[in-house]
Amino acid sequence: MTESLSIDIGGMTCDGCSGKVKKALESITGVISAEVSHESGVAIIEHKKVSKEVLISSIKSTGYTVDGKGEDFHWRDGSVWKQSAHNTKWCLIGCSIGDFGTIAAFQSIPYLDALGWSGMSIMMLAMFNGIMTSIALETFILIKQMGGIREAFRVAIGMSLISMIAMESSMNATDILIMGEPTLTWWVIPIMLFVGFITPWPYNYWRLKKYGVSCH
């Protein structure tokens, strides 16, 4: 006999979130279908003799909450490390475009060099431009998923700002420590990229695992 169960879910912000929960629920043996809405925060599940505890556990495993409670946090979820690495990679690509482009411009364009900007000023501009290009790239990635540029922009800013700031700070600090000023050479770039990736990765894992906040 088929039963229907409604469960309130917290933490979903987009179609990607509801799709993740739907996929997890429908992978359970005995679940016939699951209709999940991030707008209402409700999952309606059609199933045959599946306990509510199993359904709730599956939802929590995706990083979202039921009745305000989520899965106990731990650092051993390989799938979350993989997904958070993917998210961090896209953030790094976006940050690097603006950051490296700014430093390269001051190195190679005589007019900019003649402005006499201090190393700190160039670094701050590079960090700002890196954050802007990262937000732009992530907004572009999310447009189709979010159903429009406005919502995509809002989600891109909300889910990544701390990660981008940590990434930009670590990359530019590495450049200053090694080169003494904002300067790009072929061998310092891989080091900057490595540090920029490693620094925010644990934070991205924590946020994805604990709160389910990731929409790539």
Highest mean pLDDT among 44-48, 136-140, 189-193: 189-193
Domain count, the chain: 2
pTM listed for this prediction = 0.73
Q: Which CATH number characterizes residue 44's domain?
A: 3.30.70.100
Q: Is the pLDDT of residue 167 over 70?
A: yes
Residues 117 and 180 placed together within one structural domain of the fold: yes
Residues 101 and 9 placed together within one structural domain of the fold: no
Per-residue confidence at 215, pLDDT binned at 50, 70, 90? very low
User: In the listed set 34, 66, 98, which residue is the last one of a domain according to the structure?
Assistant: 66
Residues 110 and 62 placed together within one structural domain of the fold: no
pLDDT in tens, 94-122: 999 999 999 999 999 999 988 999 999 99
Q: Is residue 72 part of a domain?
A: no
Residue 70: what pLDDT?
66
Q: Is residue 71 part of a domain?
A: no
The b-or-e profile of 71-110 (16+ CB within 10 A means b, else e) is beeeeebeebbebbeebbeebbebbbbbbbebbebbeeee
Residues 62 and 82 placed together within one structural domain of the fold: no
Q: Is the pLDDT of residue 30 over 50?
A: yes
Q: Is residue 216 part of a domain?
A: no
Residue-range definition of the domain harbouring residue 128: 78-211
Residue 27: what pLDDT?
92
Q: Is the pLDDT of residue 182 over 50?
A: yes
Q: Is residue 162 part of a domain?
A: yes
Nearest to 20 by CA among 56, 49, 63: 63
- CB-CB neighbours of 52 under 10 Å: 13
